[in-house]
Structure 1
Amino acid sequence: MVNDTTLLLDLDGVSVIRVERCEDGGRRVHLATADASARACPACGVFASRVKGSATTRPRDLPYGERGLEFVWHKRRWWCREPACPRKSFTEQIPQIPAGARLTGRLRSAAGGRIRDAGSTVIQAARDLHLSWPTVMDAFKAASRQVLEAPLPEVEVLGIDETRRGRPRWEKHPDSGKWQLTRDRWHTGFVDAHGCGGLLGQIEGRTVADVLAWLSTTPLTWRNSIRHVAIDMSATYRAAIRTGLPHATVVVDHFHIVQLANKMLSLVRRRTAAELRGRRGRATDPEWKARRRLLRNREDLTDEQFAKMWNPLLDEGKIGQTLLTAWIAKE
């Protein structure tokens, strides 16, 4: 039967021998190996039967309470009696604490998970878990590989957009002497725009070749499941989709459509004022007073706001009629 202290610790493969209070107020937990498979030789897998000696390690685990726990693991060193095995002796190990490990597996997983899943920084996770920055960074890399190596979820609507990251870097070619771009400031992100898959991938660059290179790394069955691709009004991304996903329907996202329509409306306003008034707009002009409301949707305008925009422009003649026609087209 497992004692209550061992159940409270909940660390598979070891049992609690005793717990003692340290001089600084902390608690020291003495552990013994409780997993019979720890006697298996890591080289040949044969169970050892002859004890060579004993060893003591102090692995670190997740914090418990305000001061945490100090582990002392009393384990044995075994002789491997298999003649063909190159390993003559070995110490006990369990999945949570491999041989030579100073941290338990769940402590490493918790450190990497705080950054990968909880959005914590490396330095903050190191402070919270009392670990060094390189240790936490290595744990984060291991946790990230689990996500990167996992199969992509099925996606029906793929979103592609660009992101600016840092500054570009140029280096001179040693042979030709020409400057060449070695780090692009633009990255391309691929997201699940309709489901819950989140960020699927991110690559450096935003050319047709960059997008096709990423698509070529995905399975054909995954690409065939994509029905729509949402992009901004980028001819580059559209050309890449036509080549890499010819069966998918290209969809321009709503934000960029509205943005382009509002840009054209502002262009019509400035151009019409310049042609008919022979100057730039002024604060006293009705079209200048209505410039903010012209960029808003009808459902976002109250009846009073709509009347303040519509009536003065309607009475302004050709300038107002042109702007109202453009506004109706935008809507």
Structure 2
Amino acid sequence: MPEARLARFALLPELEMTDFRQIPGGATQIDAHKTSEMEVCPRCASPSRTGYDHRYVTVKDEPMRHNPVVLRIKKRRFYCKPCRKPFTEPISGISKGRRFTERFRRAILWACERFSDMKAVRDHFQCSYGFIYKSLYDLLKTQLKHNIHSWPVKIGIDEHRFGKDSKTGATRFATFFVSHSRNKRAFEIVEGRSKEELMALVAHIKGRDAVRIVTMDMSGPYRSFTKTMFPNATIICDKFHVLRLLTPAINRCRKEITGDRRSLKVRRLLLRNGCDLEFKIKSELHKWLANHPKLRDIYLAKEAMHRLYRTHGYNKARNAFKKLLDELGTSPWDELKTLRRTLLSWQNEILAYFKNKYTNARVEGFNNVAKTIIKRGYGYQSFENYRLRVLRACC
């Protein structure tokens, strides 16, 4: 009875256990053979019942209770009369020429995602680093082949640093494409961020004319790429990146007054949304700003941008945006003049938010996942391996 339960749990389909025992090294060896009476010739697909020889094959299987498992399988050789050639019976779950089962490879994939390092995986499965890497990335590549789809209707685009080129020392960037529709997961990740690089790497994906909405940060190359690649799409500039346009200017002006001390309370008050401050604190802040006209004007412009995004409706937002541009046009400060030029350049993309209400928050979240994968792997030299790991975690 225990042998029957062990056979049902441990053996592959169509195999019958004949013996099991412990072998030197602590592994469990299970002897088995295939129970079918007839096999099909792999060349001509003719059935064959003529067996004339056999051989024993030893393959690794998934460990049980942290103990290695070895299958010793008796494989029969058949003779195909139409072909007049011999063949060896196949075993379901073991690829041709392999000395391990497919569930052994799947167990390695599971361990690579949960163990802290590859050494722990190697010690647990008692195999080489080369076998672990090859099994891991071959299986990831096979699984991701089933995830190839056409472009989703709504996507988000963002980039993050991937590493540095070992020869030139130049920073390498990766561009994320995330679906805002369908399954709301990562769609693709490619190396590079220029228009020419992106066009070459994603040109093979079908359905680009069906894309209707694209969210992004305030990146000129991404905007140029989107207009060429997705001609029917509406570009939406991410709300967060618009609101933080004045953050560097506020910090510079504040440092000229208070010095570079991040622990100062006024630093946090200047960067927070004014609606989140209590009345007393807000009054004290405005009294302090009255002594510093430049910082006060920049702070009020930042608050005006927050008020813009609290506006409901496209027409009201467009009027508020024009009013903001008029106020910035009368300012004597260079920082606010630069802000006005930037807002004018991205006017259509900023106002498109008030029609569709999409942001790049989901893309930023997947960017954090990708950066965590880089930290856990202590960096990646191969972008293809990095891409497989990221898509596995985010798809």
Same fold (TM over 0.5): yes
Is 1:216 the counterpart of 2:203? The answer is yes
Relative to structure 1, the CA distance from residue 110 to residue 250 in structure 2 (aligned partners, 3 Å threshold; closer, same or farther) is same
Partner of residue 221, structure 2: 236
Contact in 1 for aligned 2:216/2:238 (Cα 8 Å): yes
Aligned mates of 2:180, 2:214 — CA distance in 1: 8
Partner of residue 135, structure 1: 131
Q: Percent identity?
A: 23
- Matched letter for residue 313 of structure 1: L
Bigger mean CA deviation after superposition, 61-70 or 149-158? 149-158
TM-score (norm 2): 0.65
Superposition pairs of residues 65-104 of structure 1, within 5 angstroms: 65-82=65-82, 84=83, 88-104=85-101
- Matched letter for residue 287 of structure 2: N
For residues 37-64 of structure 1, the C-alpha deviation after alignment (integer angstroms, 9 at most, x for no partner) is: 6x22222222322222221111110001
Partner of residue 277, structure 1: none
Q: Specify which structure has the higher proportion of helix.
A: 2
For residues 111-169 of structure 1, the C-alpha deviation after alignment (integer angstroms, 9 at most, x for no partner) is: 23544x65875554333322222222222222222344232276333121222222236
Aligned mates of 2:123, 2:159 — CA distance in 1: 34
Equivalenced residues, count: 299
Is 1:329 the counterpart of 2:304? The answer is yes
Gap runs ≥5 in structure 1? 172-180, 274-279
Aligned mates of 2:78, 2:213 — CA distance in 1: 61
Report the structure number with the largest CA radius of gyration: 1
Instruction: Considering Cα pairs closer than 8 Å and 6+ residues apart, tell me whether 1 or 2 has the greater RCO.
Output: 2
Contact in 2 for aligned 1:193/1:230 (Cα 8 Å): no
Superposition pairs of residues 13-32 of structure 1, within 5 angstroms: 13-22=14-23, 26-32=27-33
Relative to structure 1, the CA distance from residue 35 to residue 99 in structure 2 (aligned partners, 3 Å threshold; closer, same or farther) is farther
TM-score (norm 1): 0.77
Following superposition, the deviation at residue 19 of structure 1 comes to: 2.2
Relative to structure 1, the CA distance from residue 168 to residue 152 in structure 2 (aligned partners, 3 Å threshold; closer, same or farther) is same
Is 1:42 the counterpart of 2:39? The answer is no
Partner of residue 58, structure 2: 58
- Aligned match for 1:256, one of 230, 235, 241: 241
Partner of residue 292, structure 1: 268
Is 1:158 the counterpart of 2:155? The answer is yes
Name the Cα RMSD after superposition.
3.2
Following superposition, the deviation at residue 236 of structure 1 comes to: 0.7
Relative to structure 1, the CA distance from residue 124 to residue 193 in structure 2 (aligned partners, 3 Å threshold; closer, same or farther) is farther
